[in-house]
Structure 1
Amino acid sequence: MSSTEVSGILENSKELDRIRKEQEEVLVEINKMHKKLQATPEVVEKPGDNSLSRLKVLYTHAKDLSESEVTISSMLLTQLDALLPSGPPGQLRRRMGNDPKRKRMKTDSDISRISNNVRSQLEACANLKGEQVAARVRLDEADKDEWFVVKVLHFDKETREFEVLDEEPGDDDEGGGQRKYKLPMSRIIPFPKRNDLSNVQDFPTGSQVLAVYPGTTALYKATVVNGHRKRKTDDYLLEFDDDEENGSLPKRTVHFQKVVPLPEESRQ
C-alpha cells in the first residue's frame, strides 16, 4: 500500500466529514424554517417575504450535499476495494464492512427523511377531500379576510392549493348560492377528527382560539373560559370577542371539533 493511496483515502475521508457537518448545519436551518412556517404560515403572503425562496435554496443545497456524499462514499469504497485482498483472507473485508463509521456513509440521509415528511404533509392535505375545514377567505377586495367553514373538493399537490366549497353562504352574499374558492395551504386549518383524538390539541383556560359561533358557519376569535375538560371529546366553554350582551360576554358552549388554534395574524 503506497503513501499516495493512503493519502487519497484520508483526503476523501476528510471531505466526507466536511460534507456531513455542512449537512447538519443545513438541516438545522431547514428545521427552523419549518417551525416558522408551521407557526405563522400566513407570513408567505406578506409582501417582500422570501421564506419559500429561502426554503427552496436550502433544499437545493441539501440535495447537492447529499449527492456529494454519495459520490465521495463511492470513491472511498472503490479505493478500499482496490487495496483489500481477494480470496480467503477476505476476513478483513468483512470486518471493515461492519465498521460503524462505514455504516454512517449511507444514501438514505436526513435530507431524504425531511423530503418524506413534506410528502406526508401533502398526502395529509390530499386526504382532507370531502372534509370540512376552516378557511380564511376574502369575499371582496374591499373587505377584510373572514374565517368560515368550507368543504374540501380537491387538493392540487403541484400548486399546493385547495379547491373548497362554501356550502352555506351568508344572507349578505349578493352572488347567491354556493361558492367555490381556490386557497393556498396557509389559509386552511383542518378541524379535529372524532375518530382520531391523538392530534387533538388541548386549550387551557385563558387561551385564545378560533371557533365556530353557535348556529353559524363562521369562525371568530374567542377566549377559553373552561379548558379543564375530563375528556378530549368534551365541549369548550368560550367567550367570543364583540359578543357583548347586557354589558357582559355570554359564555357559549362549542364542540371540540369546531375549535382550532388562533392564527398569528389574528392575535391583535
Structure 2
Amino acid sequence: MHQRLTKLSYFLSLIRVQQWIKNLFVFLPMFFNKQLVSFDSLISATIAFFLFSFIASSIYCFNDIVDLEFDKQHKSKKNRVLASGLVSINEARICMFVCSLLGLGLSYYLSGFDLFLVLTIYFLINVLYTLIFKKIMVLDVMFIAASFVLRLLAGGVATNTELSYWIIIMVTLLALFLAFAKRRDEVVIYMEDKILVRSNIDKYSLKFLDSILTVLSLAITMFYLAYTFSPETKAQFNSDYIWLTSIFVILGLFRYGRLIKLRQNYVNPTKILLKDKAMQFIVFSWIISFYIIIYT
C-alpha cells in the first residue's frame, strides 16, 4: 500500500498538479459576467478547469521527455521524477497519452467541439513551444501569453460567455509580466551560479528585462484603470466604484516587484501564490472587493 502511494506521488509530481492553479483563469469569464452564482455555469467552468488541467499535464510529461538528457545534467532539474529515474520514460509516455486522451476525449463528449478545438490548439502550440519556440528569445514568452489567453477562451466557450477585449488585453499583459519576471530571475541565477535554467537564457540581459518589466507594469496599471473608469464597465456592472479594485492590482505589482529584487521563491508565480502570505492577501482582497461591487 505504501509503495502504491509513493508511486502515485511520483506521478502527481510528473503531471505538476501544483501548476493546475494557473488554470483557474478559466473561471474569469464567468466571474466578470456575473455568472458565479449560476450553478450550471459553475459546473461547466469546473469541468473545463479539469479538462484543461489534464491537457496541461500531458504537456508537462512531453516536456520532461523531450528535455530528459538536459534535465539529467541540471543542478536542480535532475531531481525531477523522470530525470532521477523514479518514473520510467515509458511510464511518462503512458501518462502523457492518458492525460491527453482524458482532456481531448472528454472535452468533445462533455462540452462539445468548441472546447475540444481550444484544447487542441493549446496542445499543439505547446508541443511546438517545447520542440522549437522555447529556444527563441522573446518568442518563448509570447507563446506563454498565448497559453493564458487560451485558458480564457476555454472558460468562455464552456460557459457561453463572450470575452471582452479588456480582459484579453489585461490577461495578456499580466502573462507577459510574469513570464519576463521569471526570465529575469533565471538570468540572475545564470550570472551568479552559472546554472543554465533553459537553453536560451544566456540571450537575455538584466537591462533588457528590467526595461520590459517597467513598461509592462505601467501598461497593466494604465489599462486596468482605463477599464475601471470606462463607461462600458460602469454600465455593465452598474457601479461607479470598480476603480477601487485597482488598489490591489497596484499593490500586487509592487509586491511582485519586491519579490523579484529579493529573489524569493525564485519568482515562480505558482510558488509565490501558494506560499507568500502578502500576495495571497492581495489576490484574495481583489477577488472579494470585485465580488462585493459587482454581485451585491
Q: Which TM-score applies when normalising by structure 1?
A: 0.28
Larger of the two Rg values belongs to structure: 1
Higher relative contact order (CA 8 A, sep 6+): 2
Give the strand-richer structure, 1 or 2: 1
Greater helix content: 2
